[in-house]
Amino acid sequence: MTHPPRERLRAYAAGEVELTKRLLVEAHLQLCAECPRRVAEYREGAPGLPAATVSDETRLPSFDRVWAAVEQAVPRDASPAAAVLPPSLLGALPDPAGWRWTVVRSDGVRFALLVRDAETASALYVCYIPPRSRFPRHRHLGLEENVVLAGSYQSGDVRVEAGDWVIGAPDTEHTPTTRPDQDCWCLSRLEAPGMRLSGWRGWLWHLLPH
């Protein structure tokens, strides 16, 4: 399995990464046996939660209030896309019923924007490729970081499996393809200015309103 850079894990452990980076790390941590231990090591030396004063105890909301918030926050959608994402990620995202899907091939290859970091314009997408299919050829204009949530895909000579952390450099082009017997769900973080479909799809893409 391939892993995120150590610095990213260190920043995650310190609670210092913005939402799109954080959710990608958490998706990887769910599927990786090694990186959780690294995160624990980084957390080991840092101070824990501070001690509470009487005033903190007094101001604490009642458990019933917190429980009511938990019950309200239960995910409202049971779609396959929502099911493939870990609950901790779903809880940090807008309601799955409102995700905006873009279909890029008639056999069901599609992606949806989940969340965007307004300051860096980095965006997190969930992407689906059915078996025996491919995501149309595209060029990454900014950095791409990708974690496969389920299934696998092939990109050139490289097979990318569940949990793998893949980095695509800006200005690279590829066509991820799936095996005949396996589909692929992945989480992709694209730094601005994102990606552009190659060929006629790219032209069509720019003509259509988004």
Partner 1 sequence: MPEPDFAWLRINNDENAGAQRLLPRIAAGDREAFHAFYTLYGARVMALVRRRGAAPQLAEELVQDVFVAAWQGADGYRPELGEPERWLLGIARHKLLDHWRRMHRIVAAVGLPLDPVLPDGAAPDTNLRLSLGQAVARLTADQRRVIDLIYGSGLTFAEAAHALEVPAGTVKSRVNAALGKMRDFLTGSPTP
Stretch 27-66: interaction string toward partner 1, x if CB under 8 A:
--xx--x--xx-xx--xx-x-xxxxxx--xx-xxx-x-xx
Q: Which of 4, 8, 9, 13 binds partner 1 (CB under 8 A)?
A: 13
Q: Which of 5, 79, 80, 91 binds partner 1 (CB under 8 A)?
A: 91
- Identity of the residue, 17 or 143, whose beta carbon is nearer to partner 1 in the bound complex: 17
8 A C-beta contact, residue 199 and residue 35: no
Q: Which of 80, 98, 170, 193 binds partner 1 (CB under 8 A)?
A: 98
Q: Which of 70, 78, 169, 208 binds partner 1 (CB under 8 A)?
A: 70
Residues of span 114-133 touching partner 1 by CB under 8 A: 115-119, 123
| Identity of the amino acid at 192 | A
Q: Which residues bind partner 1 (CB under 8 A)?
A: 12-19, 22, 26, 29-30, 33, 36-37, 39-40, 43-44, 46, 48-53, 56-57, 59-61, 63, 65-67, 69-70, 73, 86-88, 90-95, 98-100, 113, 115-119, 123, 210
